[in-house]
Chains A and B, each alone.
Chain A
């Protein structure tokens, strides 16, 4: 009798599962007012946007259930109403977003911004987002200064958490939540910034290079100038580094400065070889090495710079 009862309950539950209602659809859209306080060093930016939801399920309360998992901090104001029998929630959001900036090609970098919005309570079996692609926009005039927004889009996906968040009834350690995603690419005209941050470095190299002008046996300028240039180049590098996030990646900034360090080292090396030859009485060879060496250093430096910058741009 008990076995039959258990079987009956199982059959009933299976029937209910088969007839289970589909998840409620929430139409979601966004209007981005502004992206500002872009901070490469602290790996963050601030975004302010309007967010709206249209849905019928009265259990949904986005004032309490909204989450932006990739935000460092979230502030929101909410207005609720109804339209055509649906609940209409409009929220003014301000989020400080965590961002892993790709600075490999800085300042010729383009960035991708992604804002992921979820309901903390209802998983994808209960709630799915339908993006309002037609109504979602960004304020073209004020959205972002110094950058251009490309490929703005909103979409919906699922975010899988490999945990049941303590639900011991769950058969597997898995939770799947619908997400509403705002995506955009941002890029800038970088040549002004490039000139600004690298002019000190190039002048440092040129000062080192001037040391080829005096005779190889004139020690003061031959060795003093490159060392002065090296100090200036090192100073320039660490000032630029303070703008960028700590990263194990070898960026364009690192590459160009490293080439400059090597070029200055090469300048000193050529001077040292010339001096050696001069000390041994090979004055002619000394002058020839100085001449050829200076050309190799300059030519190599220009070629290496052009190649690395071209790779970063293209």
Chain B
């Protein structure tokens, strides 16, 4: 957008061909943040809510962060509460912000996932030739007590950067077909102790597989349990998968959740296949081969299922 700085700069006469005043330096704005809380983490809707205090220290009376502040990666920004003051002759602005942030969650390893949250703050009016942010690294911090439930925040950091927009936002002047704005960034990594969640979401699936596996306990010629139990297990596994899917965003990526459920489906299918093969031998009056196939098959299925599960969970 933006970017009326070019208009303002045009009004003056001492300009270079790039619209920057000769000899002038951009005004520095010291900016810091205190993150009160990150909550309403919603994987399915690809969003979370963040509440934070933000402060700006500057000399330029043209800067009005109440109306000029933008967070490009926010879905919604609530009207901020603003406190104005002066300190050592500088304007001191404190704003209490609440934003619903857009987030492309990395769910490949869910629930062993680690997420990186980033909030980008810009001034919509003044580009980097007029305004540069200087991050108040020392005083910026995260509320360790209220900050986040169920997650641990690591690598909290604030920094300054620039963002280039390959458009002039309608500015017809030659050479104004791209603009660069100073950006204040809030970054943090979040992770959780996932084993409780893992057990919670996969217990149904593992019980479903065990129910299917119990069918090996009966003789191969006892058709009712040999085929009824795995089918019951399949229903439970399918139901479990779609309950978990409702928590996660729609994604073309094949995640750990998909992998473990697919392994379970194939495991149940293998249980049925072993039963069918064993029965085939039994029907061919080869009872010994039937029992042997059943014994070996059941061990292979169980062993392979455990190994494959451990491998994928360990990889995640």
B167 and A29 contacting across the interface, CB-CB below 8 Å: yes
* Cα distance A52–B3 in the bound complex, in angstroms: 11
For B75, B171, B262, B280, which residue has the most chain A Cβ atoms within 10 angstroms?
B171
Chain A residues with Cβ under 8 A from B272's Cβ? 207, 210, 225
Contact (A36, B7) CB under 8 Å given A145-B104, A203-B265:
no
Answer whether residue A221 sits at the interface, using C-beta atoms and an 8 A cutoff: yes
The digit string for A180-201, where 1 denotes a CB below 8 A from any CB of B, is: 0000000011111101100110
B254 and A196 contacting across the interface, CB-CB below 8 Å: yes
Chain B residues with Cβ under 8 A from A88's Cβ? 4, 7, 170-171
A188 and B104 contacting across the interface, CB-CB below 8 Å: no
Partner of A188, one of B125, B252, B258: B252
Closest to B6 in A: A83
* Cα distance A221–B166 in the bound complex, in angstroms: 65
* Cα distance A137–B165 in the bound complex, in angstroms: 9
Within 8 A of A (CB), among B107-125: 124-125
Number of interface residues of A (CB under 8 A): 62
- Of B148-156, B236-244, B292-300, the stretch lying at the interface with chain A is B236-244
* Cα distance A81–B279 in the bound complex, in angstroms: 84
Chain A residues with Cβ under 8 A from B165's Cβ? 31, 137, 139
- Of B81-89, B138-146, B222-230, the stretch lying at the interface with chain A is B222-230
Within 8 A of B (CB), among A1-53: 27, 29, 31, 33-34, 36-37, 46, 48, 50, 52-53
Chain A residues with Cβ under 8 A from B234's Cβ? 203-204, 207, 228, 232
Contact (A200, B1) CB under 8 Å given A82-B7, A210-B273, A228-B231:
no
A146 and B251 contacting across the interface, CB-CB below 8 Å: yes
Query: How distant is B65 from chain A, measured CB to nearest CB, in Å?
Result: 14
A33 and B251 contacting across the interface, CB-CB below 8 Å: no
Query: How distant is A128 from chain B, measured CB to nearest CB, in Å?
Result: 16
* Cα distance A83–B169 in the bound complex, in angstroms: 12
A79 and B46 contacting across the interface, CB-CB below 8 Å: no
- Of A65-73, A157-165, A235-243, the stretch lying at the interface with chain B is A235-243
Query: How distant is A304 from chain B, measured CB to nearest CB, in Å?
Result: 21
Partner of A145, one of B46, B227, B228, B269: B46
A79 and B4 contacting across the interface, CB-CB below 8 Å: yes
B269 and A54 contacting across the interface, CB-CB below 8 Å: no
B276 and A210 contacting across the interface, CB-CB below 8 Å: yes
B227 and A221 contacting across the interface, CB-CB below 8 Å: yes
Answer whether residue A61 sits at the interface, using C-beta atoms and an 8 A cutoff: no
Query: How distant is A276 from chain B, measured CB to nearest CB, in Å?
Result: 20
Chain A residues with Cβ under 8 A from B73's Cβ? 34, 142
Query: How distant is A79 from chain B, measured CB to nearest CB, in Å?
Result: 6
A214 and B276 contacting across the interface, CB-CB below 8 Å: yes
Answer whether residue A246 sits at the interface, using C-beta atoms and an 8 A cutoff: no
Answer whether residue B266 sits at the interface, using C-beta atoms and an 8 A cutoff: yes
Within 8 A of B (CB), among A249-279: none
* Cα distance A84–B172 in the bound complex, in angstroms: 9
Chain B residues with Cβ under 8 A from A59's Cβ? none
Chain A residues with Cβ under 8 A from B6's Cβ? 83
For A204, A225, A229, A231, which residue has the most chain B Cβ atoms within 10 angstroms?
A225
Answer whether residue A293 sits at the interface, using C-beta atoms and an 8 A cutoff: no
A50 and B254 contacting across the interface, CB-CB below 8 Å: no
Contact (A224, B258) CB under 8 Å given A90-B169, A135-B167, A213-B280:
no
B46 and A36 contacting across the interface, CB-CB below 8 Å: yes
A34 and B102 contacting across the interface, CB-CB below 8 Å: yes
Answer whether residue B45 sits at the interface, using C-beta atoms and an 8 A cutoff: yes
Chain B residues with Cβ under 8 A from A224's Cβ? 227-228, 231
Nearest 6 interchain pairs by C-beta:
A228-B231, A213-B276, A52-B170, A220-B223, A192-B252, A145-B104
Please report B residues at the A interface, Cβ cutoff 8 Å: 1-4, 6-7, 10, 45-46, 70, 72-73, 75, 102, 104, 124-125, 165-173, 177, 223-224, 226-228, 230-231, 234-235, 238-239, 241-242, 245, 250-254, 258, 261-262, 265-266, 268-269, 272-273, 275-277, 279-280, 283
Please report A residues at the B interface, Cβ cutoff 8 Å: 27, 29, 31, 33-34, 36-37, 46, 48, 50, 52-54, 79, 81-84, 88, 90, 92, 107, 132, 134-137, 139, 142, 145-146, 188-193, 195-196, 199-200, 203-204, 206-207, 210, 213-215, 218, 220-221, 224-225, 228-229, 231-232, 235-236, 239, 243
Given A199-B261, A214-B276, 12 other A-B residues pairs in contact with their CB atoms under 8 A: A37-B46, A84-B173, A137-B165, A192-B251, A199-B258, A203-B265, A210-B272, A213-B280, A218-B279, A221-B275, A221-B279, A235-B239
Q: List 14 A-B contacts (CB under 8 A).
A: A31-B169, A52-B170, A54-B172, A79-B1, A84-B173, A88-B7, A92-B124, A135-B170, A139-B165, A146-B250, A196-B254, A203-B268, A229-B231, A235-B239
